[in-house]
Amino acid sequence: MNMHMNLKGKVALVTGASRGLGRAIALALGEAGADVAVTDLLIEGETHDRQALEEYSALAGHFSKAGEIKTRATAEEILAFGSKSCALKMDVTDLEEIKGVVQTVEVELGPVDILVNNAAVMDNLGKFDRQKPERWERDLKVNLTGAFHCTNVVWGSMVSRQWGRIINISSVAGLMGAWLQPSYGTTKAGIVGLTKSLAIEAGRHGITVNAVCPGFIATEAVKLYDAGMIERIEKKTALKRLGKPEEVAQVVAFLASEAASYVTGAVIPVTGGIDLLMI
């Protein structure tokens, strides 16, 4: 292992890590040597009110019903790498719950050195004149305020130790806008603004703050798209394929490492070139 990419001795907390990008990121950090707190709104084996969950988030309801929740399973895989890990339920809209989870992580693993704000919802689809205010507010709370809450809770500890890595998962939608997803595009653009603003203040404390903007990645959610839509996406992408979750995760691992010690305030597209003007 490249010593500059070795995260041994560091503690990471990843939000929204039961599947998709969050799971891949947690695994990549664990494989690089970090001890990882795998957090998510859903944990396998726990009872959920499926109707309420589906009303809150159609995707969360779908994956809960399908049994595609791997919060504990991800922690188990990280343990197999030789790193420490724990799986914890955390709602990023609940500040008090976040504080409790971070306290648990500090006891079980140690102070959080690396925070990956990945948790998000992306199922609010529809034309602007049909957008519901309560859905707009939900998206703001999860996608943007959630990142603010989590960062706020670990900030003081990072400042006191004069070291930290905050990595925010935005989206190509935050750079280009999102068709029929005004709240998603807005919140992901907000993540970019939050990243740059925090980076200015964090630098004097030895903390870097960066954003990663994935394009269309072959996560469980994207695989629900119909075949025709996936084909159109691939045709508009310079590399002519969907990305792999691991390709995003490796960029996050780099940003968490000493190899990226002079990178802050960066907004890194991992898009396969879908954000380029292709003729």
Smallest CA-to-CA distance from 23 within 90, 78, 82 is with 78
How far is the C-alpha of 260 from the C-alpha of 209, rounded, in Å? Answer: 11
Structure-token pair, residue 117: 């704000």
184 has catalytic annotation? yes
The label of the residue with tokens 């980076």 reads 199
DSSP 86-150: EEEE--TT-HHHHHHHHHHHHHHT-S--EEEE--------S-GGG--HHHHHHHIIIIIIHHHHH
The label of the residue with tokens 């589906």 reads 54
Smallest CA-to-CA distance from 232 within 188, 274, 179, 171 is with 274
Could you give the residue numbers annotated as active site? 184
